[in-house]
Amino acid sequence: MGEWKRIFCSPRRLLTLGLPAVLSVVFFFFGRMPYFGKDSFDVLIKNERYYADTVERVRTMSADDAYSMLDDERRRLDDYYRWRQNGGYVDYISVPQEQFECELAENEYLSSLSDLGREAAASAISASESRLDEIREQLDYISGYSDYLDRIQKQAAMQSMTSVFGSANTFSHRNIEKTAAEFDTLRGVEVRFGADRAYEGWIEFELADYLYLFVIVIFVFAFLEEKRAGLSGVVRSCRYGRAQLCAVRVCILASASVLGVVLIYGANLILSVLLSGNFTDMGRSVQSLECFRTLTEHVTVGGWIAEYLLVKAASGFTVGLLLWCVLGVITNAQYSTAVLGVVVAVEYALFAFLPVQSIFNPVKYFNLFSYIRTSELYTEYLNINLFGYPFGIRQLALCSLPVFAAVFLALVLLTSWKRRPEGSRNVLSRIAVMLDTAADKMRRRLSVGGWETYKTLVYQRCIFIIAIVVIAGGSLGFTRSVEVKNDDVWYSAYLRDITGPITSKTDEYIKTARENAARNDELMRALDRVETHINELRENAAADGNGYEPWIADDKPLRAVYGPDAVDAQCINAAVAMVFVIFLCAAMMPFEQKSGVVFMLRSQKRGRAGVLGQKLLLAAAMTAVAFGSVYMREYTVFTVSFSGVDINAPIRAFECMADSPFNVRLWQYLLILYILRYVMMFALACTVLCVSSYIKTVETSYIALTVLFGIPALLYSLGVSAMRYVSPVRAVSAAEQMWAYFRDGGVHHLIPLAVWAAAGALTLTHLIFKWCMNKRQRAGV
């Protein structure tokens, strides 16, 4: 009972059990979101309901009616998209205006999109079109399923006749026969149309598998805690400290495996079905789902889910036993994590990168990850060659599961019972000493700054966080579409042609263009606008008298990346940049506290200003990494995607900035913006260092700072506007404030930036006093 209580009543362990479940639901939700911005949840719900409603409509129709309905629906979505993107202009829609308006009024889904912003509505439409494509593919699959089964039989018959596969005693021949026989049993299975998305989305959600593995690893580590605390000897000396304790732990692992399955997979399944399907669809044959077209088991969707969850729990239990075995035989607890990392990495490499056709494919499927990515055993049909006979990977894996579980269980019991914690041979220690001897030669040369960097990158594992930051930054979006009136297309085209300083060549171009467009009213209207714009720019330049150069520049790229149209993207990217800074800097100070070396460091000659100075430099470098991952990518997108933009253009040349009181060029504007962003991010880094200097463990620091700064920023980005008063995300983004300031020169726009810069300066000063202390003491004495 004591061990159950120790494991399940520990708040930390409950958190590590609850957190993956919450993360799984959150990421499952996020993975389905067609759009990130202020109406993202609304768009998600509307989109999923649209899918579910369309499925219900299709269910009651004949196939031909269904295809026809899908075509109509697709056309309506296209029309609505064009209408919305062109600011309510009806010229580009494919039906008469009255019909369109009537459809719009009658279509509940399209009417509901009017509440959304333009960008959100565009994403919703685009996602709905994908849903229609999915439904069409489902219909194609259902109608073609019996043909598919026939094709397999024909293919098998043809292959058997060829000389390569014809010899009866070969693996190939046996494989063809086995495949044909197994698929033959599926004849007569009724496949029915339904809301497949609810189930397929759940099956394909890969992250759940890794979060489940995380839960199992946490429980296995909990069994090894006494080893880390140096209490193995004490525990083993107790009456029930060996086999009996091990048996209790086996039961705990089994319970944790079941609990993890219920919390992680069960919650997601319910969420998925509620979101885009219904529970009645579980009565269909499992082959009704396209992802199971190769599954040769006679079972309903509901039956398969029950079997899958059971296999998941058994797999989790077996994987847990395997990890326990591996870690249990390692005497030195410090190497456990490293060994675990190597085992998992090797297994994953074999699972992910070994070709299916490889002669080594048994190690690809007799693999840890076969039991982690269990769904692939059901969605892929493959026979592997064992001694010339074909064996299905699913049958093999599932049949060997209880065998593995029994073997690992025996090993775990044996290890706990017989393996002595002290005095055993320790090969790993010898290897570690050899590696450390070599590393010490390099470390001797490190300066104080080098040491601080080394501690952060290696001991605090920041090098992995940097890799994650760099990879995660690649998935950010930086542009938003800009509303364009219909004649803007030509207007923009002309502007692109004459981008640059306004000279006599510009006038010549206009003259030639007018001659060419003489009979086209639309082109003439656009040219009139261009000319008016040129005249305004010339007048402004003449009136300015400060060397302002009239310049033609298209403002859409600028608006699409840095303007008010892109505020959503700016906020999300700023929130992500903040989370990056938090994770890169949050461990620096608590690491010293946790190691208990603060007083000793501060007693050294260079242990105060020297160490703190290096930590601040490192924080600046880490901020640069986060900055580069987000904002250098943004700049690259701006310059590469909009190659026509000349950054030498004065910002007043852009129509949206025509009234700006500042006579600066675009590159200067961008430089100021990026410098401000860096400063704001560094202010955050200083605040992170200051707050974390009061925290004694690295884990608490990550959690506390994410709650304090990361979550409010993300919530603000997703539309919780009250968070603007709590989070510095607007200051870090800076784009909205800078845009407003450069448009009208109002200093009040800069208040959020000034407040956050002051907060950063204050926390930095406090940190310096706290670490160096001398001046305060002098004042106090």
Partner 1 sequence: MQLALKNVTKRYGKNVALDGLTVTFTAGIYGILGANGAGKSTMMNLITDNIARDGGSITFDGHEILEMGSDFRAMLGYMPQQQGVYGEMTVESFVTYMGRLKGIHGKKLSEQVADVLTLTNLYDVRHKKIGGFSGGMKQRVLLAQALLGDPNVLILDEPTAGLDPKERVRIRGFIEELAHDRIVLLATHIVSDIESIANEVMLLKEGKLIRMSPPEELIASIPETWEPVAYRLSLEDVYMYYLGG
Q: Which residues of the chain form contacts with partner 1 (CB under 8 A)? A: 332, 334, 429, 432-433, 436-437, 439-440, 443-444, 446-448, 451, 455, 458-459, 595-611, 773-774, 776-778, 780-781
Distance CA 51, CA 40 (A): 17
Shortest CB 200 distance to partner 1, Å: 45
Contact 360, 347 (CB under 8 A): no
Tokens for 581?
A: 């800074």
Given the structure tokens 């775990």, which residue do they identify?
412
Contact 264, 24 (CB under 8 A): yes
Given the structure tokens 């202009």, which residue do they identify?
89
Which CB atom, from 45 or from 609, has the smaller least distance to partner 1? Answer: 609
Shortest CB 402 distance to partner 1, Å: 38
Which CB atom, from 18 or from 450, has the smaller least distance to partner 1? Answer: 450
Shortest CB 308 distance to partner 1, Å: 41
Buried b (16+ CB within 10 A) or exposed e, 756-774: bbebbeebbeebbeebbee
Three-state DSSP class for residue 501: strand
Shortest CB 611 distance to partner 1, Å: 7
CA distances from 355 to 110, 358, 359, 364 (A): 47, 5, 9, 8
- 655: exposed, middle or buried (C-beta count within 10 Å: 0-12, 13-18, 19+)? middle
Separation of CA 188 from chain center? 42
Which CB atom, from 636 or from 765, has the smaller least distance to partner 1? Answer: 765
Shortest CB 595 distance to partner 1, Å: 5
Contact 421, 232 (CB under 8 A): yes
Which CB atom, from 591 or from 669, has the smaller least distance to partner 1? Answer: 591
Which CB atom, from 422 or from 515, has the smaller least distance to partner 1? Answer: 422
Give residue 596's identity as a one-letter amino acid code: G
Three-state DSSP class for residue 191: coil
Shortest CB 616 distance to partner 1, Å: 16
Which CB atom, from 185 or from 604, has the smaller least distance to partner 1? Answer: 604
Give residue 55's identity as a one-letter amino acid code: V
Shortest CB 466 distance to partner 1, Å: 18
Shortest CB 696 distance to partner 1, Å: 12
Which CB atom, from 445 or from 519, has the smaller least distance to partner 1? Answer: 445
- 212: exposed, middle or buried (C-beta count within 10 Å: 0-12, 13-18, 19+)? buried
Shortest CB 695 distance to partner 1, Å: 16
Which CB atom, from 155 or from 774, has the smaller least distance to partner 1? Answer: 774
- What's the Rg (C-alpha) of the chain? 32
CB count within 10 Å of CB 37 equals 22
Which CB atom, from 279 or from 464, has the smaller least distance to partner 1? Answer: 464
Shortest CB 441 distance to partner 1, Å: 10
Distance CA 265, CA 252 (A): 19
Contact 510, 528 (CB under 8 A): no
Contact 676, 753 (CB under 8 A): yes
Q: Looking at the DSSP assignment, which residues form a beta bridge with residue 389? A: 386
Which CB atom, from 49 or from 602, has the smaller least distance to partner 1? Answer: 602
Which CB atom, from 460 or from 506, has the smaller least distance to partner 1? Answer: 460
Three-state DSSP class for residue 416: helix
Residue 632 has what DSSP assignment? I
Distance CA 724, CA 744 (A): 22
Shortest CB 444 distance to partner 1, Å: 6
Tokens for 592?
A: 């010293």
